[in-house]
Amino acid sequence: MKQAWQWVEADVKALIDNQERENLNLDYKSCDALERKDGKIKEISKDVSAFANSAGGVIVYGVIDNKNVPVRIDDGYDPNGKISKEWLEQVINSSIRRRIDGIRINVVDLTTTQPGKVLYVVSVPQSNTAHMAEDHRYYKRFNFESVPMEDYEVRDVMHRLEAPDLSLELKLEGEPLLSWGQKGSEPFSLILSIRNQSAEPAFYATIRFYVDLQMALVLPPIMPRDIVNAGQEELPVGGALRSFQVFLERLSVPPGLPIWEGEPRTSTFAVQLPTRASFAASGAEFLLGCEIRSPKMPAKQRFYKLRATPYSRSVDLIPLD
Protein backbone atom coordinates (compact mmCIF):
# COMPACT_ATOMS: atom_id res chain seq x y z
CA MET A 1 0.00 0.00 0.00
CA LYS A 2 1.11 3.57 -0.65
CA GLN A 3 2.49 5.72 2.12
CA ALA A 4 -0.15 8.06 3.57
CA TRP A 5 1.59 11.13 2.15
CA GLN A 6 1.03 9.64 -1.34
CA TRP A 7 -2.68 8.93 -0.92
CA VAL A 8 -5.22 10.27 -3.40
CA GLU A 9 -9.00 10.28 -3.19
CA ALA A 10 -9.23 6.65 -4.34
CA ASP A 11 -7.02 5.53 -1.44
CA VAL A 12 -9.25 7.28 1.09
CA LYS A 13 -12.33 5.73 -0.54
CA ALA A 14 -10.67 2.32 -0.25
CA LEU A 15 -10.31 2.82 3.52
CA ILE A 16 -14.05 3.49 3.69
CA ASP A 17 -15.06 0.65 1.33
CA ASN A 18 -12.89 -1.81 3.29
CA GLN A 19 -14.21 -0.45 6.60
CA GLU A 20 -10.66 0.06 7.84
CA ARG A 21 -11.20 0.63 11.56
CA GLU A 22 -9.39 3.18 13.65
CA ASN A 23 -6.47 1.69 15.52
CA LEU A 24 -3.28 2.65 17.32
CA ASN A 25 -1.89 4.12 14.09
CA LEU A 26 -5.00 5.48 12.33
CA ASP A 27 -7.61 8.07 13.28
CA TYR A 28 -10.51 9.69 11.39
CA LYS A 29 -11.77 13.21 12.06
CA SER A 30 -14.78 14.97 10.55
CA CYS A 31 -14.27 18.41 9.02
CA ASP A 32 -15.38 20.26 12.14
CA ALA A 33 -12.27 18.98 13.95
CA LEU A 34 -10.32 21.77 12.22
CA GLU A 35 -11.59 25.20 13.23
CA ARG A 36 -9.97 28.46 14.27
CA LYS A 37 -11.09 28.08 17.87
CA ASP A 38 -8.97 27.61 20.99
CA GLY A 39 -10.72 24.39 21.96
CA LYS A 40 -10.21 22.85 18.54
CA ILE A 41 -6.55 23.90 18.40
CA LYS A 42 -5.98 22.19 21.76
CA GLU A 43 -7.51 19.00 20.38
CA ILE A 44 -5.28 19.13 17.29
CA SER A 45 -2.16 19.47 19.45
CA LYS A 46 -3.36 16.67 21.74
CA ASP A 47 -4.09 14.22 18.90
CA VAL A 48 -0.91 14.90 16.90
CA SER A 49 1.40 14.80 19.93
CA ALA A 50 -0.25 11.53 21.10
CA PHE A 51 0.76 9.82 17.85
CA ALA A 52 4.34 11.09 18.13
CA ASN A 53 4.54 9.93 21.77
CA SER A 54 3.21 6.48 20.81
CA ALA A 55 4.08 4.53 17.65
CA GLY A 56 3.38 7.24 15.09
CA GLY A 57 0.43 7.11 12.71
CA VAL A 58 -2.00 8.88 10.41
CA ILE A 59 -4.86 11.30 11.07
CA VAL A 60 -7.36 11.77 8.23
CA TYR A 61 -9.17 15.10 8.61
CA GLY A 62 -12.35 15.03 6.53
CA VAL A 63 -13.81 11.54 7.04
CA ILE A 64 -16.87 10.79 9.17
CA ASP A 65 -16.77 7.61 11.26
CA ASN A 66 -19.30 5.67 13.29
CA LYS A 67 -17.93 3.71 16.25
CA ASN A 68 -14.39 3.86 14.84
CA VAL A 69 -15.44 2.65 11.36
CA PRO A 70 -15.24 5.17 8.45
CA VAL A 71 -18.64 5.90 6.89
CA ARG A 72 -18.12 8.58 4.24
CA ILE A 73 -16.05 11.54 3.13
CA ASP A 74 -17.22 14.76 4.78
CA ASP A 75 -17.94 18.08 3.04
CA GLY A 76 -14.21 18.80 2.64
CA TYR A 77 -12.18 21.99 3.05
CA ASP A 78 -11.61 24.94 0.75
CA PRO A 79 -7.80 24.83 0.24
CA ASN A 80 -7.77 28.59 -0.29
CA GLY A 81 -9.97 29.36 2.70
CA LYS A 82 -9.33 29.70 6.42
CA ILE A 83 -8.49 26.03 6.95
CA SER A 84 -5.50 25.67 4.64
CA LYS A 85 -2.51 23.36 4.72
CA GLU A 86 -0.34 26.30 5.83
CA TRP A 87 -2.69 27.10 8.72
CA LEU A 88 -2.74 23.47 9.90
CA GLU A 89 1.06 23.31 9.67
CA GLN A 90 1.38 26.49 11.74
CA VAL A 91 -1.04 25.19 14.40
CA ILE A 92 0.89 21.93 14.79
CA ASN A 93 4.28 23.61 14.92
CA SER A 94 3.24 26.36 17.34
CA SER A 95 1.04 24.41 19.78
CA ILE A 96 3.27 21.38 20.49
CA ARG A 97 6.50 21.47 22.48
CA ARG A 98 9.05 20.20 21.47
CA ARG A 99 8.38 20.64 17.80
CA ILE A 100 7.86 17.29 16.02
CA ASP A 101 10.24 16.66 13.13
CA GLY A 102 9.12 14.77 10.04
CA ILE A 103 5.38 15.53 9.99
CA ARG A 104 3.88 15.43 6.49
CA ILE A 105 0.54 16.95 5.49
CA ASN A 106 -0.97 15.51 2.32
CA VAL A 107 -3.63 17.63 0.60
CA VAL A 108 -6.03 15.17 -1.07
CA ASP A 109 -8.17 16.62 -3.87
CA LEU A 110 -11.79 15.43 -3.71
CA THR A 111 -12.29 15.42 -7.47
CA THR A 112 -15.36 13.15 -7.50
CA THR A 113 -17.06 13.45 -4.10
CA GLN A 114 -16.61 17.18 -3.40
CA PRO A 115 -15.10 18.88 -6.48
CA GLY A 116 -12.96 21.88 -5.55
CA LYS A 117 -12.60 20.72 -1.94
CA VAL A 118 -9.82 18.78 -0.19
CA LEU A 119 -9.16 16.76 2.91
CA TYR A 120 -5.92 16.60 4.89
CA VAL A 121 -3.95 13.46 5.74
CA VAL A 122 -1.42 14.13 8.51
CA SER A 123 1.41 11.57 8.84
CA VAL A 124 3.06 11.70 12.27
CA PRO A 125 6.33 9.78 12.87
CA GLN A 126 7.16 8.14 16.17
CA SER A 127 9.43 10.55 18.00
CA ASN A 128 12.63 9.98 19.95
CA THR A 129 11.40 12.19 22.80
CA ALA A 130 8.14 13.25 24.46
CA HIS A 131 6.00 16.11 23.15
CA MET A 132 3.67 18.30 25.20
CA ALA A 133 0.29 19.49 23.90
CA GLU A 134 -0.95 23.06 24.20
CA ASP A 135 -2.62 22.34 27.55
CA HIS A 136 0.85 21.46 29.01
CA ARG A 137 0.02 17.76 29.26
CA TYR A 138 1.51 14.71 27.55
CA TYR A 139 -0.75 12.30 25.66
CA LYS A 140 -0.54 8.83 24.11
CA ARG A 141 -2.76 6.69 21.88
CA PHE A 142 -4.90 4.15 23.72
CA ASN A 143 -8.10 2.39 22.55
CA PHE A 144 -8.67 4.77 19.62
CA GLU A 145 -8.25 7.84 21.82
CA SER A 146 -5.64 10.32 22.99
CA VAL A 147 -5.28 9.88 26.75
CA PRO A 148 -2.97 11.51 29.33
CA MET A 149 0.31 9.76 30.03
CA GLU A 150 1.56 8.74 33.47
CA ASP A 151 4.82 10.26 34.73
CA TYR A 152 6.77 7.03 34.20
CA GLU A 153 5.48 6.80 30.60
CA VAL A 154 6.71 10.30 29.85
CA ARG A 155 10.13 9.39 31.26
CA ASP A 156 10.22 6.21 29.17
CA VAL A 157 9.49 8.13 25.98
CA MET A 158 12.10 10.79 26.78
CA HIS A 159 14.69 8.01 27.14
CA ARG A 160 13.90 6.35 23.80
CA LEU A 161 17.31 7.27 22.40
CA GLU A 162 18.92 5.51 25.36
CA ALA A 163 16.87 2.31 25.04
CA PRO A 164 16.55 -0.49 22.48
CA ASP A 165 13.49 -0.41 20.25
CA LEU A 166 12.63 -4.01 19.38
CA SER A 167 9.97 -4.82 16.79
CA LEU A 168 8.25 -8.19 16.24
CA GLU A 169 6.97 -10.06 13.21
CA LEU A 170 5.57 -13.59 13.15
CA LYS A 171 5.59 -15.62 9.93
CA LEU A 172 4.19 -19.02 9.01
CA GLU A 173 6.44 -21.17 6.86
CA GLY A 174 4.83 -22.50 3.71
CA GLU A 175 6.15 -26.06 4.19
CA PRO A 176 6.08 -28.31 7.26
CA LEU A 177 9.13 -28.02 9.49
CA LEU A 178 9.23 -31.70 10.48
CA SER A 179 7.89 -35.00 9.22
CA TRP A 180 5.99 -35.78 12.42
CA GLY A 181 2.46 -34.93 13.47
CA GLN A 182 -0.59 -36.45 15.06
CA LYS A 183 -2.98 -38.25 12.79
CA GLY A 184 -5.12 -35.75 10.91
CA SER A 185 -2.66 -32.90 11.49
CA GLU A 186 0.18 -31.12 9.71
CA PRO A 187 3.21 -29.54 11.43
CA PHE A 188 4.30 -26.05 10.37
CA SER A 189 7.13 -23.81 11.45
CA LEU A 190 6.48 -20.36 12.91
CA ILE A 191 9.33 -17.89 12.77
CA LEU A 192 9.49 -14.87 15.06
CA SER A 193 11.75 -12.15 13.66
CA ILE A 194 13.06 -9.47 16.03
CA ARG A 195 14.67 -6.24 14.83
CA ASN A 196 16.23 -3.46 16.85
CA GLN A 197 15.35 -0.05 15.44
CA SER A 198 17.52 1.84 17.93
CA ALA A 199 21.27 2.45 18.02
CA GLU A 200 21.20 1.17 21.61
CA PRO A 201 21.80 -2.63 21.63
CA ALA A 202 19.49 -4.98 23.56
CA PHE A 203 21.48 -7.11 26.01
CA TYR A 204 18.47 -8.71 27.69
CA ALA A 205 14.95 -9.52 26.51
CA THR A 206 12.07 -11.86 27.30
CA ILE A 207 9.78 -13.18 24.60
CA ARG A 208 6.32 -14.62 25.23
CA PHE A 209 4.55 -16.73 22.61
CA TYR A 210 0.76 -16.97 22.84
CA VAL A 211 -0.90 -20.02 21.26
CA ASP A 212 -4.71 -20.20 21.11
CA LEU A 213 -5.70 -22.58 23.90
CA GLN A 214 -8.34 -24.26 21.70
CA MET A 215 -5.54 -25.31 19.38
CA ALA A 216 -2.79 -25.95 21.94
CA LEU A 217 -4.81 -28.45 24.01
CA VAL A 218 -5.73 -30.61 21.02
CA LEU A 219 -2.54 -30.21 18.97
CA PRO A 220 0.29 -29.16 21.32
CA PRO A 221 3.04 -27.01 19.76
CA ILE A 222 6.62 -28.30 19.83
CA MET A 223 9.07 -25.79 21.26
CA PRO A 224 12.88 -25.71 21.25
CA ARG A 225 14.54 -26.72 24.53
CA ASP A 226 15.23 -23.11 25.59
CA ILE A 227 11.55 -22.08 25.32
CA VAL A 228 9.60 -23.12 28.41
CA ASN A 229 5.90 -23.64 29.07
CA ALA A 230 4.70 -20.72 31.24
CA GLY A 231 1.12 -21.87 31.78
CA GLN A 232 -2.18 -20.42 30.62
CA GLU A 233 -3.33 -16.80 30.47
CA GLU A 234 -6.42 -14.83 29.45
CA LEU A 235 -5.89 -11.66 27.41
CA PRO A 236 -8.25 -9.14 25.76
CA VAL A 237 -7.76 -9.44 21.99
CA GLY A 238 -10.05 -7.94 19.36
CA GLY A 239 -12.55 -6.77 21.96
CA ALA A 240 -12.96 -10.21 23.58
CA LEU A 241 -11.21 -12.18 26.32
CA ARG A 242 -9.23 -15.07 24.81
CA SER A 243 -7.37 -17.97 26.45
CA PHE A 244 -3.79 -18.83 25.47
CA GLN A 245 -1.06 -21.32 26.25
CA VAL A 246 2.01 -19.20 27.02
CA PHE A 247 5.63 -20.07 26.22
CA LEU A 248 8.61 -18.06 27.45
CA GLU A 249 12.07 -17.48 25.97
CA ARG A 250 14.81 -15.47 27.71
CA LEU A 251 17.64 -13.78 25.80
CA SER A 252 20.77 -12.62 27.61
CA VAL A 253 24.44 -11.75 27.15
CA PRO A 254 26.15 -14.14 27.70
CA PRO A 255 25.59 -16.78 26.35
CA GLY A 256 23.97 -15.02 23.37
CA LEU A 257 24.97 -11.86 21.53
CA PRO A 258 23.30 -8.43 21.82
CA ILE A 259 20.53 -7.58 19.37
CA TRP A 260 22.17 -4.85 17.33
CA GLU A 261 20.46 -2.16 15.25
CA GLY A 262 19.21 -3.50 11.92
CA GLU A 263 20.40 -7.08 12.49
CA PRO A 264 17.47 -9.54 12.69
CA ARG A 265 17.27 -12.30 15.27
CA THR A 266 14.89 -15.21 14.78
CA SER A 267 13.21 -17.82 16.97
CA THR A 268 11.56 -20.86 15.38
CA PHE A 269 9.04 -23.29 16.80
CA ALA A 270 6.55 -25.78 15.38
CA VAL A 271 2.77 -25.86 15.59
CA GLN A 272 0.44 -28.67 14.61
CA LEU A 273 -2.65 -27.70 12.64
CA PRO A 274 -5.54 -29.78 11.39
CA THR A 275 -4.94 -30.89 7.80
CA ARG A 276 -5.43 -27.93 5.50
CA ALA A 277 -8.49 -29.45 3.87
CA SER A 278 -10.28 -30.14 7.17
CA PHE A 279 -9.10 -26.79 8.61
CA ALA A 280 -10.60 -24.87 5.66
CA ALA A 281 -13.79 -26.92 5.65
CA SER A 282 -14.40 -26.30 9.35
CA GLY A 283 -14.06 -22.52 9.01
CA ALA A 284 -12.09 -22.51 12.27
CA GLU A 285 -9.87 -19.56 13.18
CA PHE A 286 -7.17 -19.53 15.84
CA LEU A 287 -5.15 -16.71 17.37
CA LEU A 288 -1.38 -16.58 17.79
CA GLY A 289 0.58 -13.80 19.45
CA CYS A 290 3.95 -12.68 20.69
CA GLU A 291 5.29 -10.12 23.15
CA ILE A 292 8.77 -8.76 23.81
CA ARG A 293 10.15 -6.91 26.82
CA SER A 294 13.57 -5.35 27.29
CA PRO A 295 14.98 -2.95 29.93
CA LYS A 296 13.99 0.72 29.41
CA MET A 297 11.64 -0.26 26.56
CA PRO A 298 7.83 -0.48 26.72
CA ALA A 299 6.52 -4.02 26.15
CA LYS A 300 5.28 -4.70 22.61
CA GLN A 301 2.60 -7.21 21.60
CA ARG A 302 1.35 -8.45 18.24
CA PHE A 303 -1.53 -10.84 17.56
CA TYR A 304 -2.44 -12.73 14.42
CA LYS A 305 -5.42 -14.69 13.11
CA LEU A 306 -4.58 -18.12 11.71
CA ARG A 307 -7.01 -18.99 8.92
CA ALA A 308 -7.26 -21.58 6.14
CA THR A 309 -8.70 -20.50 2.79
CA PRO A 310 -11.65 -22.64 1.58
CA TYR A 311 -10.98 -24.65 -1.60
CA SER A 312 -7.27 -23.89 -1.28
CA ARG A 313 -4.21 -25.45 0.32
CA SER A 314 -3.02 -22.15 1.76
CA VAL A 315 -2.96 -21.26 5.46
CA ASP A 316 -2.74 -17.52 6.21
CA LEU A 317 -1.40 -15.66 9.22
CA ILE A 318 -3.20 -12.29 9.29
CA PRO A 319 -2.02 -9.43 11.58
CA LEU A 320 -4.76 -7.98 13.79
CA ASP A 321 -3.06 -4.54 14.11
Based on the fold, state whether residues 106 and 130 are members of the same structural domain. yes
For range 22-41, the mean pLDDT: 94
CATH code of residue 232: 2.60.40.10
More confident residue, 115 or 277: 115
Domain count within the chain: 2
Domain termination residue (choose one: 131, 158, 185): 158
Based on the fold, state whether residues 227 and 97 are members of the same structural domain. no
Based on the fold, state whether residues 238 and 135 are members of the same structural domain. no
Based on the fold, state whether residues 243 and 261 are members of the same structural domain. yes
Residue 207 has pLDDT above 50, yes or no: yes
> Using CA atoms, how far apart are residues 217 and 319, in angstroms rounded to an integer?
23
Based on the fold, state whether residues 116 and 200 are members of the same structural domain. no
Residue 180 has pLDDT above 60, yes or no: no
Based on the fold, state whether residues 186 and 298 are members of the same structural domain. yes
Residue 168 has pLDDT above 80, yes or no: yes
Confidence (pLDDT) at 219: 74
Based on the fold, state whether residues 188 and 149 are members of the same structural domain. no
For range 8-30, the mean pLDDT: 94
Domain termination residue (choose one: 158, 177, 203): 158
The mean predicted confidence, pLDDT, of the chain is: 86
* Angle at which helices 85-95 and 38-53 cross, to 10°: 70
Confidence (pLDDT) at 152: 85
For range 46-67, the mean pLDDT: 95
pLDDT one-digit tens code per residue, 288-297: 899 999 987 8
3-class state of residue 160 by DSSP: helix
Domain termination residue (choose one: 128, 158, 188): 158
For range 316-321, the mean pLDDT: 79
Based on the fold, state whether residues 133 and 174 are members of the same structural domain. no
Confidence (pLDDT) at 171: 85
- Name the H helices within the chain: 9-17, 38-53, 85-95, 151-158, 213-218, 276-282
Confidence (pLDDT) at 2: 77
Based on the fold, state whether residues 137 and 254 are members of the same structural domain. no
Based on the fold, state whether residues 134 and 253 are members of the same structural domain. no
For range 82-101, the mean pLDDT: 95
Confidence (pLDDT) at 111: 94
Based on the fold, state whether residues 109 and 182 are members of the same structural domain. no
Residue 84 has pLDDT above 80, yes or no: yes
Q: What is the pTM of this model?
A: 0.56
Q: Which domain holds residue 124?
A: 4-158
> Using CA atoms, how far apart are residues 201 and 220, in angstroms rounded to an integer?
34
Poorest-pLDDT segment among 70-84, 170-184, 271-285? 170-184
Based on the fold, state whether residues 150 and 176 are members of the same structural domain. no
* Number of alpha helices (DSSP H) and beta strands (DSSP E) in the chain: 6, 17
Q: Tell the burial category of 237 from Cβ atoms under 10 Å away from its Cβ (0-12, 13-18, 19+).
A: middle
